[in-house]
Structure formats: C-alpha cells, structure tokens
Amino acid sequence: MGHFYFVRHGQTVWNVENKICGAADSPLTEKGHEQAKETGRMLKERIDNGEIHIDQILTSPLSRAYDTAVEISHMTGVPVTVEPRLIEQNFGKWEGTARDGAAFARAKESFADSYGGGESMMRLAQRIYNLMDDLRKEPEKTCLLVAHNGISRMIESYFRDMSNEEFAAFGIKNAEVREYTFEDDRPDDRTDYDLLCQQVTGLMDGMESHITILSNAAALLYEMLPRINWAGFYISHGDELLLGPFQGKTACVRIPYGQGVCGTAAAENRTIAVENVHKFAGHIACDSASQSEIVVPIHKDGRAYGVLDIDSPVLNRFDNADREGLERFVKLLEAEMANE
C-alpha cells in the first residue's frame, strides 16, 4: 500500500499581513520556524515509537517551504530533497493582494485562467497529478511532502471529488500534517465501517453482559476485517491490562500500563496505529507473525475500561479510515455497556 504525508509550511510574513504569497518568496516568521520545529518534534516522536516511517522529505524550492522542511529534517534526521513540482501556484496579478478577497475567491473557480501571467489551475493539476502518479508507483517508499496551501488543495482534489466552490475554499493550517493513501493500491483492505457498526449494534441488542458484547464484537471484527490475525480486548485491572474476549492465537495475559502498544494507548488514552510493530519501543510480541497494529482505548462510565487491539501480518495495514471507523465502533460499545 502506498501512502505519503503532507505538511504546509509554517507561518510567513505575508500570512501575517493577509497577502497572497503564490510564487513570491515570503519568508517564515519566528513563529513559523517554531511551528516547523514543533511539527518535527511530533513526527520524530511518532517515528521513534514505530507508529510511522518516513524515507524522504520532498520540498518546494520556495524558502518558506524549504526552511520548514529543514527544521523538520533537523528534528527527525530524514533527508531533504527539493522537488520543483511542489512550488506554489503563480497567482499572477493576485499575488500580494488580500488572501480573503471576494474577487480572488471567485477567480480560483476559473480553472483555465492564468491570472494575467500566472499559472492556471489546469496546468497546476497537470504537474501535481503527475507527481502523485509517480509517488503511487513506489508504494514501498514513504515521503513527507512540504509545500503550500495551493498545492494541498490540488492534492486533496486528486483523492476526492470536489465542487468548484469546495475546491476554491479548501485549505489547511500552517505546519498541519495530513496523510494520504493511494486507496486503489489496497482494495482488499477496505472495510465498510457503516455496515460494521450496524452489525455490532444488532448483535448488542438486548445483551446485558459486557463479556457477551465484547465476545461477539471480537468475532465480528475478526470475520469482517481483511488481513488481520488477531482481534480482541484487554480489560483494565489496577495498573495493568488483563486479556479479555478475543479471536486469534493465544495471547499475552497481562500487559502493564505504559508498556507495549496496548499499555501505551491505555496510559496515554489515545488511539495508536503502528506501521511496524518491530520498530515500536517496548513492543510486546505475542504472535511473531504480527507486523502492524492498532489499539483504541475504551471507557465505561467515564473511566478507563480497557482497549480494543487488532493485529495484522502485513506492514502498515491500518490507515486513517480504519482509525476513524474503529473509534466509531468503540463508541457504540461504550454506549451499550454504559446501559448495563
């Protein structure tokens, strides 16, 4: 499965002045440098924890993006390469004018207009879509792209349909990180989480025992999620997690809080998706076949109850769609168990 990460550059002088930068080279502010460093620290933590892997940083040649990439590289140790196709769109006569101007907003909906000497949306799409196609050809390599708001808009349009109005209005924050997955490269991994949530709701109807609820939930996940080798639950007991209902090979019975993926997710009260469990610090190996893992915390009556744990025998099995879908799944479990 191929995927990549995208980061918009940090705050610039013209961002502060509410001016359209485009191909003009407005430098980062001091805050912009700090935003880039903070993003670098966050990515380094996720890399060190084995949650993500990045082989290379590709950056726009404009200084605001390049300097952001360098700050991230200093934090993570990932090498930087300039990719000319990531340069921001040239907005021609609009550069240096107000970013929130009504006339400019309308102009962005004219895809064949070069804005009086700039670059049309159609020409921008050509170079960015070509770049996306090139990244798709190397699914084994994971890149971090550092570029601009206009580039983020075009990348977003590569992955989903948008109306002209949606396209023109789309944008992301300075130093924000987004992940994109080439879904066509992993058709067998797609899960209909709407259907899955409907199914678990039906299975829980009339059930009074949370053990019964979790047992059927584990069986449903094991049956419905492709390319997984373990699905189940660990229940909080004091300062450790005890094995609960599950499907798959025999598993670790006790996991201390703060250890392994499950213990870390429980201690930090957050969902953790790990691309390669063997790179996760303190990983507890119950099944040597497991390569990637996702863990979602569970609460009951406002208190920590345990975690949902799912393992896969393939690297980088779980993406944002799985994270969001499984978090929805867990919320349904929590709501039902709260009614006991």
Rounded to whole angstroms, the Cα distance separating 148 from 145 reads 10
Tens of pLDDT, residues 217-269: 999 999 999 999 999 999 999 999 999 999 999 999 999 999 999 999 999 99
In this structure, are 210 and 152 located in the same domain?
Answer: no
Q: Are residues 250 and 288 in the same domain?
A: yes
- Reported as a pLDDT band with limits 50, 70 and 90, residue 196 is very high
Query: Cα separations (Å) of 264 from 46, 116, 131, 255?
Result: 13, 55, 37, 10
> CATH number of the domain that 304 lies in?
3.30.450.40
Same domain, 181 and 208: no
For the chain, how many structural domains are there in total? 2
> Domain residues for 329?
188-337
Q: Are residues 9 and 138 located together in one domain of the fold?
A: yes
Nearest to 92 by CA among 65, 123, 61: 123
Q: State whether 141 and 203 are in the same domain.
A: no
**Phi, psi for 241 (deg, rounded to 5):** -110, 135
pLDDT tens-digit map of 59-75: 999 999 999 999 999 99
CATH number at residue 16: 3.40.50.1240
Q: Are residues 31 and 180 in the same domain?
A: yes
Q: Which of 185, 214, 235 is the last residue of a domain?
A: 185
What per-residue string of b and e applies to 50-59 under the rule 16 or more CB within 10 Å gives b? bbbebebbbb
35 and 163 together in one domain:
yes
Which stretches of 9-50 are assigned E, i.e. beta strand?
none
How many whole angstroms separate alpha carbon 10 and alpha carbon 201? 44
Q: If DSSP codes are grouped into helix, strand and coil, which group holds residue 316?
A: coil
